[in-house]
Amino acid sequence: MNDSEPRDFIRKIIADDLESGKHTEIVTRFPPEPNGYLHIGHVMAICLDFGVAAENGGRTFLRLDDTNPGKESPEYVAAIKDDVHWLGFDWEDRLTHASDYFDRLYASAVQLIEQGVAYVDSLSAEEIRQYRGTLTEPGRNSPYRDRSIEENLDLFRRMYAGEFADGEHVLRAKIDMTSPNMNMRDPAIYRIRHVPHQNAGDKWCIYPMYDYAHGMSDAYEGITHSLCTLEFEDHRPLYDWFLDQLQPEHRPRQIEFSRLNLAYTITSKRKLKMLVDESIVSGWDDPRMPTISGMRRRGYPPQALREFVRRAGVTKKDKLIEMGALETCVRDVLGDAAPRRMAVLRPLKVVLTNYPEDRVELMEAMNHPANPDFGTRELPFSRELWIEQDDFMEDAPRKFFRLKPGGEVRLRSGYIIRCDEVVKNDRGDVIELRCSYDPDTRSGTGTSDRKVKGTIHWVSREHAVDASVRLYDRLFNDANPNAAEDVHSVLNENSLEVVAAKLEPSLADADEAVQFERLGYFCQDAQDSRPDALVFNRIVTLRDSWARLEKQALESQVS
Ligand code: ATP
Ligand code: MG
């Protein structure tokens, strides 16, 4: 691809608008409703809204789209702000709320009535539904549709003044009850709701509908390109209708792109909230959640999320992206950035019978195999060690190059050891290996040039620090849980495993993501880890364990 070519159709439109002089400055907004925490789908919208403006020296508003009191809360507002900042974007002084414009929206609604294109309807919600018709049948005009402008103004003022109960009246646009587009069949503009508002307090008992408030807020802020997901395509005629009627100074243009869907993941705030409310997860920031706060706690770097949506691209076609694609981005960032450490997740005791009881050697270990700038550290080595249970096999196949009875293996940054004896408990479980080490094979300085095929990690038993390590698996068993009628039916019961691990001593104060050699990337859990009770999260494994599974699932979706 030519470097100067816009990356996607939206960037192409924006480039054309600048070139033609239609706009001299690009202004966008990211408009979340504060009714939940942001998720991976929102990452796409954030990167697009902030990205296209920044690339063109423009500006972006963070607008809290709070037209639905009752479901919205300051907790969500705070989380949204945190998440956008953490992702690496800044709205500067452009934090707004749809509710900031309630006065203007009210005045504009009065203007619509005065122009004869809005009326107060007094049908019940059920009647309004019946009058609306269906996709195949036209709707019918409400008997209240031809009220006089004066009567409409009077009723709307009294709706505002709180004289009516919820649902008694509704302000509607007078468009066309026979339109093939249901959104144009006299949609509601204002409804009565005697509910306090998270930002506006109890000033209002009527609230504007999303379609009206959204487009007009765009106009008030001078938004040039209002980017949203495809489900709003059928709402665009209404978006434009309000602009046509009210002729604001700035005329924004709505452009739709496809939602980002991630396999094995839910991207609906409503369903994610259910998982939180039912304590299926520990909270919105549970590291298994596809929320930004969950992924942050899990240890995903923000650059990885940004790179992921860049690779996903902006299109008009709905797509289901593999989890592997996201994890690849996480690995790419951490592979370069994370120092290497040693940790044993499922410890098996090793005693080096020919190693002096009280000796401790400090072994020098590289912090990063490919980058000497990371330096080295010293690992204490002693007579008793922990190794990984599955690095030993009693009846090993010929090609098993780790430890087996009578076999040899190299301890990374240590010595070559041989397994002389296997100790078992009454139940027949292997509980200890008695081994001998070859003093001439010390890594780096050994005099022997002996080679063995396998290298394993270890920690010194006396020096190890204990930690709970949380190993996460996918939260859902189904490739497209968004489509499941009942999310309970597609939950993976084994999405969290906790192991009692042994870590090298330097990990006691690890404050960044690290690679546990041979195991994956890990970080301390920011919520639960304490100096005397360390908790680590597995961010991602070293290799793509999803690939096979997802390939199958995606193939079965296509066929
Ligand atoms: P949800 O269904 O999770 O509640 P929403 O669309 O209702 O999502 P909003 O808070 O209204 O959530 O979304 C804010 C912005 O993020 C909107 O412009 C919306 O189009 C965009 N967005 C939401 N979900 C996705 C997604 N999966 N992919 C891309 N953009 C998204
Ligand atoms: Mg929404």
Tokens describing residue 375: 């330096």
Whether 429 shows a pLDDT value over 60: the answer reads: yes
Tokens describing residue 401: 């190059």
Per-residue model confidence (pLDDT) at position 549:
53
Tell me the CATH class for 9-257.
alpha beta
In ligand 1, the atom with minimum distance to the C-alpha of 227 is: 18
C-alpha triplet 119, 120, 124: angle, nearest 5°: 130
Q: Are 240 and 269 in contact (CB under 8 A)?
A: no
Label residue 319 by pLDDT band (50, 70, 90).
confident
Q: Establish whether residue 38 lines the binding site of ligand 1, counting it when its CB lies within 6 angstroms of any ligand atom.
A: no
| Overall average pLDDT of the 418-432 stretch | 97
Q: Establish whether residue 42 lines the binding site of ligand 1, counting it when its CB lies within 6 angstroms of any ligand atom.
A: yes
Per-residue model confidence (pLDDT) at position 553:
52
Q: Which one of the ligands is nearest to 64 CA? A: 1
Out of 229, 269, 276, 482, mutate this one to test ligand 1's pocket (max ligand atoms within 8 Å of CB): namely 229
In ligand 1, the atom with minimum distance to the C-alpha of 34 is: 10
Whether 29 shows a pLDDT value over 70: the answer reads: yes
List Cβ neighbours of 305 (8 Å cut-off, separation of 6 or more). 40, 43, 87, 292, 295, 326, 329
Q: Establish whether residue 268 lines the binding site of ligand 1, counting it when its CB lies within 6 angstroms of any ligand atom.
A: yes
Per-residue model confidence (pLDDT) at position 179:
98
Range 417-450 burial, b when 16+ CB lie within 10 A, else e: bbbeebeeeeeeeeeebebbbbeebbbeeeeeee
Q: Establish whether residue 27 lines the binding site of ligand 1, counting it when its CB lies within 6 angstroms of any ligand atom.
A: no
| C-alpha distances in Å from residue 559, one per residue of 265, 552, 554, 556 | 21, 11, 9, 5
In ligand 1, the atom with minimum distance to the C-alpha of 261 is: 27
Q: Give residue 107's identity as a one-letter amino acid code.
A: A
Q: Establish whether residue 349 lines the binding site of ligand 1, counting it when its CB lies within 6 angstroms of any ligand atom.
A: no
Q: Establish whether residue 31 lines the binding site of ligand 1, counting it when its CB lies within 6 angstroms of any ligand atom.
A: yes
Tokens describing residue 462: 């006396």
Q: Are 53 and 28 in contact (CB under 8 A)?
A: yes
Which backbone phi and psi does 230 adopt, to 5 degrees?
-60, -25
Label residue 171 by pLDDT band (50, 70, 90).
very high
Label residue 449 by pLDDT band (50, 70, 90).
confident
How many Cα atoms sit within 13 Å of 67 on the Cβ side? 24
Q: Are 373 and 412 in contact (CB under 8 A)?
A: no
Location of structure tokens 């506006």: 200
CATH topology of 9-257 equal to that of 269-339+467-558?
Answer: no
Whether 556 shows a pLDDT value over 60: the answer reads: no
d(CA 219, CA 213): 10
Kindly give the residue spans of alpha helices, DSSP state H, lying in 115-201. Answer: 125-132, 149-160
Calculate the average pLDDT of the chain: 95
- Which of helix, strand or coil describes residue 443? coil
In ligand 1, the atom with minimum distance to the C-alpha of 39 is: 3
The topology under which CATH files domain 269-339+467-558 is: Ribosomal Protein L25; Chain P (2.40.240)
Q: Which one of the ligands is nearest to 39 CA? A: 1
Partner residues linked to 253 by β-bridges: 225
Q: Which of 215, 241, 207 is closest to 102 using CA atoms? A: 207
H or E element: which one contains 362? strand 361-366
HEC letters along 240-300: HHHHHHHCCCCCCEEEEECCEEECCCCCCHHHHHHHHHCCCCCCCCCCCCCEHHHHHHHCC
Residue nearest to atom 25 of ligand 1 (CA): 41
Whether 550 shows a pLDDT value over 60: the answer reads: no
| Overall average pLDDT of the 54-63 stretch | 98
d(CA 60, CA 90): 8
Q: Establish whether residue 32 lines the binding site of ligand 1, counting it when its CB lies within 6 angstroms of any ligand atom.
A: yes
Q: What does the chain come to in residues?
A: 559
Per-residue model confidence (pLDDT) at position 416:
97
Label residue 276 by pLDDT band (50, 70, 90).
very high
Residue nearest to atom 27 of ligand 1 (CA): 41
Instruction: Give one DSSP letter per residue of 378-437, joined into a string.
Output: EEEE-SEEEEEGGGB-TT--TT--SB-TT-EEEETTS-EEEEEEEEE-TT--EEEEEEEE
Q: Which of 497, 17, 407, 505 is closest to 226 using CA atoms? A: 17
| Overall average pLDDT of the 67-74 stretch | 91
Q: Which one of the ligands is nearest to 233 CA? A: 1
Give distance in angstroms: CA of 169 to centre of ligand 1.
30
Per-residue model confidence (pLDDT) at position 357:
96
Residue nearest to atom 22 of ligand 1 (CA): 42
Per-residue model confidence (pLDDT) at position 552:
53
Per-residue model confidence (pLDDT) at position 152:
98
Q: Establish whether residue 41 lines the binding site of ligand 1, counting it when its CB lies within 6 angstroms of any ligand atom.
A: yes
Active centre residues (catalytic): 33, 259, 269
- Which of helix, strand or coil describes residue 364? strand
Per-residue model confidence (pLDDT) at position 545:
58
Give distance in angstroms: CA of 219 to centre of ligand 2.
19
Give distance in angstroms: CA of 45 to centre of ligand 1.
7
Least confident of 264-268, 270-274, 321-325, 446-450: 446-450
Per-residue model confidence (pLDDT) at position 233:
97
Label residue 559 by pLDDT band (50, 70, 90).
very low
Q: Are 222 and 209 in contact (CB under 8 A)?
A: no
Q: Which of 376, 411, 409 is closest to 420 using CA atoms? A: 409
Q: Which one of the ligands is nearest to 291 CA? A: 1
Give distance in angstroms: CA of 439 to centre of ligand 2.
66
* Strand order across the beta sheet in which 514-516 lies: 340-341, 514-516, 520-524, 534-540, 465-472, 496-503, 343-344
Q: Are 67 and 246 in contact (CB under 8 A)?
A: no
In ligand 1, the atom with minimum distance to the C-alpha of 269 is: 3
Give distance in angstroms: CA of 273 to centre of ligand 2.
14
Whether 1 shows a pLDDT value over 70: the answer reads: no
For the segment(s) 343-457, the CATH number from 3.90.1300.10, 3.30.200.20, 2.40.240.10, 3.10.20.340 is 2.40.240.10
Q: Which one of the ligands is nearest to 255 CA? A: 1
* Strand order across the beta sheet in which 95-97 lies: 27-30, 59-64, 95-97
Q: Establish whether residue 269 lines the binding site of ligand 1, counting it when its CB lies within 6 angstroms of any ligand atom.
A: yes
Q: Establish whether residue 312 lines the binding site of ligand 1, counting it when its CB lies within 6 angstroms of any ligand atom.
A: no
Location of structure tokens 């690995």: 331
Q: Which of 112, 81, 91 is closest to 209 using CA atoms? A: 112
With a pLDDT cut of 90, the percent of the chain lying above it is 91
Whether 558 shows a pLDDT value over 50: the answer reads: no
Digit-coded pLDDT (tens) for 462-513 = 999 999 999 999 999 999 898 888 989 999 999 999 999 999 999 999 999 9
Out of 39, 40, 42, 50, mutate this one to test ligand 1's pocket (max ligand atoms within 8 Å of CB): namely 42
Domain extents in the chain: 9-257, 269-339+467-558, 343-457
Beta strands 206-208; 188-192: pairing state: antiparallel
Least confident of 4-8, 34-38, 62-66, 372-376: 4-8
Q: Give residue 252's identity as a one-letter amino acid code.
A: P
Per-residue model confidence (pLDDT) at position 154:
98
| Overall average pLDDT of the 365-382 stretch | 96
Instruction: Give one DSSP letter per residue of 217-233, joined into a string.
Output: HHHHTT-SEEEEEGGGG
Q: Establish whether residue 320 lines the binding site of ligand 1, counting it when its CB lies within 6 angstroms of any ligand atom.
A: no
C-alpha triplet 493, 498, 504: angle, nearest 5°: 155
Residue nearest to atom 23 of ligand 1 (CA): 42
